[in-house]
């Protein structure tokens, strides 16, 4: 059985056809990635470097951190990138990331909140008794706050700030907290922390053991349902402009004709 992740499940929920292109047929995308995902990756990478150095007793200056970010930005820019925002350029996105990092640095310096257990944690969470179905774990920053309290931190570059009600229903970090509870015997609670970098805002949530068990069952049922699907219809929505498979999508071709008519553009080196 394949490993399912939050992004994989979300892909199916958003558009079954796009899911099929990406995970089943493995169709070559129109571009290597979107500028939005590239921005998120580079910002995550910079914050990982910041905390990795702290593990070795070195506090990077803001200037050093931004210099690292710029180097990695230039070095890793893909051969083809989908830029959705009309009239935006690579430089515009780079500057956005610089602002997010600078705001974060000023807010949390000197970064002494608890003990860092791991950065960019990767593991798998079994979600059924026979260990046939696994959920992919990828935690940006895992912290031990003492007295059995752990924290799961996640950096978001979303342009829309969710309300608290939405966070209380969030699947991604809740599943990560289930993994934390299984991994650490002394765990009495897990604080879920979102850093919405665009807004320089921190939000949090907690889950009870009962809520997590309900969620595990829900995720398992959804994964089994996805596995059993035989037809993958397209789902036209406002999210289509971010899709990397528009060039193959019959709904998009029929409705738009020219895949760039939405104002998005693909830059090729």
Which phi-psi region, left, alpha or beta, contains residue 157 (left: φ > 0; alpha: ψ -120 to 50)?
alpha
Paired tokens of 210: 């009962």
In the numeric block, which tokens belong to residue 145? 């706050």
Cis peptide preceding 110, ω within 30 of 0:
yes
Using an 8 Å Cβ cutoff, are 1 and 133 in contact?
yes
pLDDT tens digits along 89-123: 999 999 999 999 999 999 999 998 899 999 999 99
- Are 102 and 130 found together in one domain? no
Q: 98 in a domain, yes or no?
A: yes
Rounded to 10°, the helix 209-228/6-14 angle is 60
Same domain, 120 and 103: no
Q: Cβ distance 145 to 191 under 8 Å?
A: yes
Q: What is the DSSP letter of 19?
A: H
85 and 177 in a single domain? The answer is: no
pLDDT tens figures, 167-213: 999 999 999 999 999 999 999 999 999 999 999 999 999 999 999 99
Domain extent at residue 82:
31-111+237-268
Question: Would 3 be classed as within a structural domain?
Answer: no
Both 205 and 125 in one domain: the answer is yes
Q: Assess contact for 98 and 69: CB atoms under 8 A.
A: yes
Same domain, 107 and 62: yes
Decide if 29 contacts 244 (C-beta within 8 A).
yes
pLDDT in tens, 124-153: 999 999 999 999 999 999 999 999 999 999
Position 269 pLDDT exceeds 60: no
Q: Are 139 and 207 part of one and the same domain? A: yes
* Beta strand residue intervals within 9-114, DSSP E: 33-34, 80-83
pLDDT band at 253 (very low <50, low <70, confident <90, very high): confident
For the chain, the farthest-separated pair of C-alpha atoms sits apart, in whole angstroms, at: 59
Same domain, 137 and 91: no
| Same domain (yes/no): 124, 197 | yes
pTM score > 0.75 for this model? yes
Domains held by the chain: number: 2
CA dist 159 and 238 (Å) reads: 15
Check: CB of residue 79 under 8 Å from CB of residue 268.
yes
114 by DSSP, 3-state: which?
A: coil
Domain match, 172 and 74 both: no
Residues 224, 154, single domain; the answer is yes
Rounded Cα distance between 168 and 143, Å, is 20
Domain match, 163 and 252 both: no
Do both 105 and 49 map to the same domain? yes
Dihedral over alpha carbons 166, 236, 252, 242 (to 10 degrees): 0
């Amino acid at each position: 059985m394949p490993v399912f992740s939050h992004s994989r499940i979300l892909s199916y929920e958003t558009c079954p056809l796009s899911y099929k292109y990406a995970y089943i047929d493995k169709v070559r995308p129109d571009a290597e990635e979107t500028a939005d995902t590239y921005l998120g990756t580079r910002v995550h990478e910079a914050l990982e470097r910041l905390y990795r150095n702290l593990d070795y007793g070195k506090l990077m200056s803001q200037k050093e951190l931004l210099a690292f970010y710029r180097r990695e930005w230039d070095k890793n820019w893909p051969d083809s990138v989908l830029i959705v925002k009309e009239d935006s350029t690579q430089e515009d996105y780079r500057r956005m990331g610089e602002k997010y990092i600078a705001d974060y640095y000023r807010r949390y310096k000197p970064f002494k909140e608890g003990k860092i257990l791991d950065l960019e944690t990767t593991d798998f969470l079994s979600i059924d008794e026979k260990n046939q179905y696994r959920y992919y774990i990828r935690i940006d920053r895992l912290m031990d706050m003492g007295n059995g309290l752990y924290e799961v931190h996640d950096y978001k570059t979303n342009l829309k700030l969710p309300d608290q009600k939405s966070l209380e229903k969030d699947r991604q970090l809740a599943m990560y907290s289930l993994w934390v509870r299984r991994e650490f015997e002394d765990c009495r609670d897990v604080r879920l922390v979102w850093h919405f970098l665009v807004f320089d805002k921190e939000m949090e949530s907690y889950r009870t053991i009962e809520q997590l068990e309900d969620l595990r069952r829900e995720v398992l049922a959804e994964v089994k349902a996805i596995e059993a699907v035989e037809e993958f219809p397209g789902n036209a929505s406002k999210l289509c402009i971010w899709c990397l498979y528009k060039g193959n999508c019959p709904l998009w071709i029929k409705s738009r004709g020219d895949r760039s008519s939405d104002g998005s553009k693909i830059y090729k080196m």
